Each structure stands twice: as structure tokens, then as C-alpha cells.
Amino acid sequence: MKMNLVLLALVSLGGHSLALAETIQTSRGAFTIPDSFSQKRTGTKDSEMGEIARRDGALVIHYDIGQSAGTRMHRGLEKECAWIREYSIGKHKALIGLMQKGTARELVATIGAKEIAAGEKNQGLPANFWTTVKNDEDLTDFLLIVASFRTPETKISD
């Protein structure tokens, strides 16, 4: 499924390639960002919070990873979403939804919510990513980064 998601994202770029240049390793997981992005940790001790920003400043993706992060996207938000999808990232279930907030469109993904709800303990779950999307390029970058997420016990190549 990850390959389908990445292929969908690449098709959205109209055939332009997106170089994935840097793997960001946190204490609770890892993800890969394009070379046109930077990443910084923004705080908290009980979860891994940070921002992934396109260097031109046009897109900022927020993340919150770990057992205390909560679940930003869940089935209870379905009525607030233009659409919501369930899929797999690595070995974990994920939910992604597009929420309309006034004139803004917020894209939200939570990886591992089902595992947490079932009582599974995993220091890298849940993993939440969210951003305001303005165009297809924002959507594509978000999907590529989120699809690359892996928990500590899963290799990036899985």
C-alpha cells in the first residue's frame, strides 16, 4: 500500500521527481523528508513533537509521536472530514482525513490508532502528522513524508 500511496503522490506532481534526501531519526520513530525541507523538534518530554518545513516557508507539517500524543485523526471525526481513508504504513494501520476549517483545508494523519485502542504498547505509536494544504504540491509532500514513517522496531525499507 505504501508504494501505491507514493505512486499516487508522484502522479500528482505531474511526473516531476521529488528527491527524498534525509531520514529523520527520533527516539520514537523515523521518517524521510525531501531535500527541500528541514526539521526541528518543538518540545515536550512525553512525546516527540516537531515541525517539518519546506525551505521556502510555504508548508509546515507538524508531528506528535508517542504514547502520550493522542490520536488527532479518528473515525469520530468523519462528519468533519471531506474524506477519510484507512490504509497501512509499514506494519501499522493509519487514518488520514481532509478537514475543512473555514476556507482552510487541514490534512491529518494518525498512524497506529487501532493498535493503541487494542492495548498494544509501542513507543512509536500513535504518530500524528497534520498541516494546512493549499495545493496539490502540499498534498503530495505530506503524503510522501507520512508514508515514510517507521516505528523503532520497523526498518525504513519495510
State pLDDT tens for residues 38-86. 999 887 778 889 999 999 999 999 999 987 888 889 888 999 999 999 9
CATH number of residue 7's parent domain: 3.40.1000
In terms of Cβ atoms closer than 10 Å to its own Cβ (0-12, 13-18, 19+), residue 143 is buried
Residue 145 host element (H or E) = helix 136-147
Residue with cell 495545493: 135
- 67 in any annotated domain: yes
For 3-16, what is each residue's pLDDT tens digit? 444 434 443 444 44
φ/ψ of 22, rounded to 5, equals -135, 130
The angle formed by the CA atoms of residues 54, 20 and 105, to the nearest 5 degrees, is 40
Q: Give a yes or no: residue 21 inside a domain.
A: yes
- For residue 143, give its domain range: 2-147
Phi and psi for 88 in degrees, rounded to 5?
-115, 140
Indicate whether 157 belongs to any domain. no
DSSP3 helix / strand / coil % (the chain, rounded to 5): 20, 45, 35
- To the question of pTM greater than 0.85 for the whole model, the response is no
Q: How many independent structural domains does the chain possess?
A: 1
